[in-house]
Amino acid sequence: MKHFLDIHTTDAADLRQMIDMGQKMKSARNGRPKGTPDDEQPLKGHMVALIFEKPSTRTRVSFDVGVRQMGGETMVLSGREMQLGHGETIADTARVLSRYVDLIMIRTFEEATLQEMAEHATVPVINGLTNRTHPCQIMADIMTYEEHRGPIADKKVVWCGDGNNVFASFAHAAGQFGFDLTFTGPETLDPERAWIDWAAAKGRPITIDRDPHRAVAGADLVVTDTWVSMHDPESAKERRHNQLRAYQVNEDLMSKAKPESLFMHCLPAHRNDEATSAVMDGPHSVIFDEAENRLHAQKAIMRWCLGK
């Protein structure tokens, strides 16, 4: 049984297999109506539980559609419906769900919730997001870069803004896929030290540069994320805007990257905050390919988990 909990806890060869499978499945669907099933039905007869303690648009739709395209069925459960970790322990929930379904995807807040679910489930568990990491997103990002520009190994990736959970999974990917990663953002929002140390131990030390224009020079890929969460209070939002305003990805900043550089944002975006509409809709942007590739990358992850 194989869980997909984080990029740094998954073998690099397996990660490469998933990226290649995702691209193969995407290519096989070229020209097909969106609602049609895949020719292969590797999840036929399988039930997948999709647990959303933290709500989502892209994660919910992409996993649900992916399961259906591969012939399986889904059961979507919210944290409110389940009383996750309140009315019943997470361990007991994992044991019970494992009697009903073949695979569990969970999008939650605390990493401990994910770990406890995986420890006690007897079916594979996929990390749809925690406050600490977001591995499915970065698998889609790697796939997107490579379909546009070829292998990401030894390329320069620059992250602008907050050293958050999405950046954490980029740090893991740098070590596993072999690219160079630079963080540019305020010291108050630096990435977790554990992830910087992990990447360095894998031979891919992360560069931290407070000057965004210097950091982006020569970049192959520029990435950002929303400055504020829907759960942040108004006072926190204003404070974060003040800290991050200098790190907005605009046309001037993108001009410092390579002419053939790409721009990514995992969405949803607050346009003209973390990135301008001119960049998001401009020639460097692949944000909607990136969003689509959540579907294909996650289908490959589910197949890997189930040995399909």
Q: How far is CA 185 from CA 58, 137, 193, in A?
A: 26, 21, 15
Catalytic site residue 99? no
CA distances from 70 to 61, 126, 282 (A): 14, 17, 34
Q: Decide if 270 is catalytic.
A: no
Burial letters for 166-198: b for 16+ Cβ neighbours within 10 Å, e otherwise?
bbbbbbbbbbbbbbbbbbbbbeebebbeebbeb
Catalytic one of 3, 6, 102, 137: 137
294 catalytic? Reply is yes
Chain Cα centroid distance, residue 118? 19
| CB atoms inside a 10 Å sphere around CB 9 | 12
Contact predicate 141/166, CB 8 Å: no
Of the candidates 3, 58, 60, 107, the residue annotated as catalytic is 107
Quick check: 111 and 132 in contact, CB under 8 A?
Answer: yes
Q: Which of 240, 294, 296, 303 is catalytic?
A: 294
Tokens read off for 201: 């131990």
- The pairing of strands 207-208 and 262-265 is unpaired
To the query of whether residue 136 is one of the catalytic residues in this protein, the response is no
Reply yes or no on whether 225 is catalytic: yes
Say how far apart CA 217 and CA 213 lie, in whole Å: 6
Structure tokens of 145? 């870069």
How many CB atoms are located within 10 Å of the residue 160 CB? 26
220 is catalytic: no
Q: Which of 3, 60, 120, 134 is catalytic?
A: 134
Structure-block tokens of residue 89: 């322990």
What are the Cα distances from residue 212, in Å, to 114, 158, 166, 259, 286?
34, 9, 19, 17, 21
Annotated catalytic residue, options 225, 273, 284, 305? 225
User: Looking at the annotation, which residues are catalytic?
Assistant: 107, 134, 137, 225, 266, 294
